[in-house]
Structure formats: structure tokens, C-alpha cells
Amino acid sequence: MKKLSRQFAISDIHGCAKTFKKLVKDVIKLSRKDTLFLLGDYINKGPDSKGVIDFIFELQKDGYSLNCLRGNHEQYLIDGLQYSWEEIAFLSRGGLETLDSFRAKTIHDIPSKYLEFIKGLPYYIELENYLLIHAGLNFDLEDPYKDDFSMLNIRNMEVDLNKTGKRQIIHGHVPTAYQNIEDSLDFLNNHVSIDSGCVYRHIHALNHLVALDIRDRKLYIQRNIDYEMNTLKLVKGDITKLHVDVVVNAANNGLRGGGGVDGAIHRAGGPAIMEACKKIGGCPTGAAVITTGGNLPAKKVIHTVGPIWNGGNNQENTLLENAYKNSLALAVENGLKSIAFPNISTGVYGFPKELAAKIAVETVLEFQKNQESEIEVTFVCFDEENFMIYKQVLGE
Ligand code: APR
């Protein structure tokens, strides 16, 4: 059956990049035939304003149809670029978080491609039956389109359809519980706010991002997931004793078993693990495969092969990074929520321990940052030396 093109509107993302991505990719499942209208306030308050704009750029690059409007928070940034006292106002309205996301000290340090994007945002878009705008229009004026400030800031309005060419207004800016948005989709007041207060994580009724299917007047809802912590833990001990969803084994290319952590896992898990390994046959360096956990408390074992240290100029760093990355990806793919890693390659394979710990921690943090689903990661250090190194790298 031919899939019809749809039109969606989303507003007030406020730096909640993970929630935004999830809503677009998994909830509405945006297709290239659809059009997505974003009604402003991409930045400020939330943790990852840069990530929100990066995702917009990514969608545009990948051929999705997007129309982005300006919000009052983008305006604060534009004003701050011009006047230093406005920069202070910007920072006090959640702009500090925006700077953090860019690792910028002042707004002038934000890379120009983002600033140009923000400066180029229009105030409104007219569709056949709807006017899309961040806040609304000042209908007290003869010509409400002359009042830019109200377009970005107005909170109460009585829509005069004669001044909008009979268009009803879809806007953001006014945080509204999504149940109330749903109730107001009959547009009794000729306007509807689709800002469900995504960034207000402490207010139970808000804390959601919604997408309105404009033609069907149907609301798609995603709870805010940006503040859910992906935890990182450090323990000293034997990985075979851990009650986690999956433990990682530092295996060899032939999955033949061995000494070190490999030997310990096969001993404690029993022959079912080796049987499964034999069926798989092997695993290239940096890749990962999954088997049963046998008699281990963990449900599964992911076998990955770290690089043998050979001086450092033979892709060792990248291969070790891949071993962590591919293990994590495989765990997520299998719906596993907690994973424990040994210090891969730092035993028989001779990888320098400090460098290995740095690569392990950075790779895991980067993965967790980009991952929409949660996964709890535990680093298990068997020897005291690695434990002390990890403590230092993790800043504990
Ligand atoms: N729990 C957690 N960590 C352990 C355990 C255990 N029970 N036993 C050993 N370790 C730690 C070691 O202290 C080391 O820091 O695992 C780390 C990795 O060491 P190795 O097991 O030697 O793994 P690696 O350096 O990646 O070498 C892999 O060794 O056993 C063989 O078949 C394996 O050929 C492969 C090679």
C-alpha cells in the first residue's frame, strides 16, 4: 500500500536531543515523504542544544523535508550576538546549558554554521488551513504580522480568523500537559499549543515532547528521556560472579577458550558456552559475538577479541575501541540493559593498562551519550593495578 505523506509539527525541544530523536525516529517514524515543521526553541535549558541542531542538520542531509521556525530562545541568542547585555539575558534563560553543549565559553564561540542556521530562521509558515508560528500573533493590531516580538512571545490571544486568511494557528511556547493538548485538538479557540513542556522534567504533567500529525489531528507522545542516567560503575573482583544481563569475554579469534578471564568464564559457565562458540566458529579482532551465559549468573556472554599490543602503530587503539563499541551495540541489539567488561587486552595481549582504560571509558561514555536506550555499564577490574587506574580515569 502506498504510504501517504504526512505533515508533523513539533515545538519547544529545548536541548532534549535524545527525546527529539526518539520521537522522530521511533514514534512517528518520519519518512522522506513526510514534512516536519519545527516551531522553534531548539536550544536552552536542556542538556544538548547542539545535539538537537545536529539532528536537524542530519535529517536535512539525509533528504528529509524539514521547515524550521524561530523561537524566542533563538532570538535571545541572536540578540546576545549583537549586544553584550543581551548575552547575559540569554545565559540566564538557560543559555549556559547551550554553551556547555557546544563546549563554548561565550556565544561567539559557537561555530558559525549553527549561528547562521539560527539567524536564518523565519517567523512563521502559512499552510492552506493553518498558520504555524512559535507563539502567536497580536490581534490587537490592524496588521499583526508587523509585530515580530509577539510572534515569538505572546501568551494569550483571541484569534481573528479574518486576519489570518481563515487559518487556525498551531504554535508552541505555552507549556501544556499533553492530555490537555489532546483535548484541545478540536481547535475551539482557533489555536492550539503543542508545547508539552518537554524540558520541565520535575513537573510530572509536562516532561513530554509531542508531534502533531496536522492533517489527521493526531498526537504522538514521547516522555522525556534526556535526563535518564546511563550509569557507569567500577568494581574490583571476578566478572563471573556478576548479576548483570551480559558479561564480556576477552576471547581469541578462534573462540577456543584460554586462560585469564576467558578461562574463568568458560569454567564458571560450563560447556554450553563452548558449544555455542564452536557453532559460531570465530571472531575477527575488534568484532563481537554473543552466546548463552550457561551457568553464569549473567544471561549472556559477549565474546570480543581485543588487539594484541604490538608497539602501538598497528591499529591497536582503534581495534580496542571497536571491541568495546561492538560489544555495546550487540548488547543493545539484544535488548540487554546491563553489561560488565573486563579490562580487555590488558593481560596476555599486553596492551598498556593506562591507555586501555582511557580508551575503554571514553568509548563507553561516547556510546552512552549517543544511545537512546539505557544501558548500565560496569568495569570489572581483577587486578589492583587496573582498579587504581580506572579509579583515576573515572575521577573517583
Ligand atoms: N574477572 C575479571 N577480570 C579478569 C578475570 C576474572 N575472573 N580473570 C582475569 N581477568 C583480567 C585480567 O586481570 C586482565 O586485566 O582480565 C584482563 C584481561 O586479561 P586476559 O584474560 O589475559 O585477556 P587479554 O589480554 O585480552 O588476552 C586475551 O588471553 O585467555 C586468553 O583466550 C584468551 O587468547 C585470549 C587472550
Residue 39 has pLDDT above 90, yes or no: yes
Q: Tell me, in angstroms, the distance from the centre of ligand 1 to residue 258's CA.
A: 9
Is residue 262 among the annotated active site residues?
yes
* Mean pLDDT taken over the chain: 95
DSSP letter for 255, please.
-
What is the chain's percent helix, strand, coil content, to nearest 5? 40, 15, 45
CATH 3.40.220.10 placement within the chain: 232-394
- Which atom of ligand 1 lies closest to the CA of 380? 2
Residue 4: predicted pLDDT: 75
Q: How far is the C-alpha of 279 from the C-alpha of 190, rounded, in Å?
A: 64
Contact predicate 389/354, CB 8 Å: yes
Ranges of CATH 3.60.21.10 domains, the chain: 7-223
H runs (alpha helix) in 129-259: 148-153, 178-183
Regarding the beta carbon of 306 and ligand 1, being less than 6 Å apart is answered yes
Q: Of 26, 100, 262, 383, which is the active-site residue?
A: 262
| Residue 2, pLDDT above cutoff 60 | no
Q: CB of 349 closer than 6 A to ligand 1?
A: yes
Query: Which cell is 44 given?
Result: 536552552
Alpha-carbon span 195 to 193, nearest angstrom: 6
Q: Is the CB of residue 251 below 6 angstroms from any atom belonging to ligand 1?
A: yes
- Counted residue by residue, the chain has a size of 396
CA–CA dist 366, 323 (Å, integer): 14
Answer whether residue 180 shows pLDDT above 80.
yes
pLDDT bracket for residue 1 (50, 70, 90): very low
CATH class of 232-394: alpha beta
Question: 0.75 exceeded by the pTM?
Answer: no
Q: Is 169 helix (H, G, I), strand (E, B) or coil?
A: strand
The CATH code for residues 7-223 is 3.60.21.10
Phi-psi region of 81 (alpha: psi -120 to 50; beta: other; left: phi over 0): alpha
Nearest-CA residue for ligand 1 atom 26 is: 345
Measured CA to CA, the distance from residue 286 to residue 199 in angstroms comes to 38
CB 12 within 8 A of CB 19: no
Average of pLDDT values for 243-258? 97
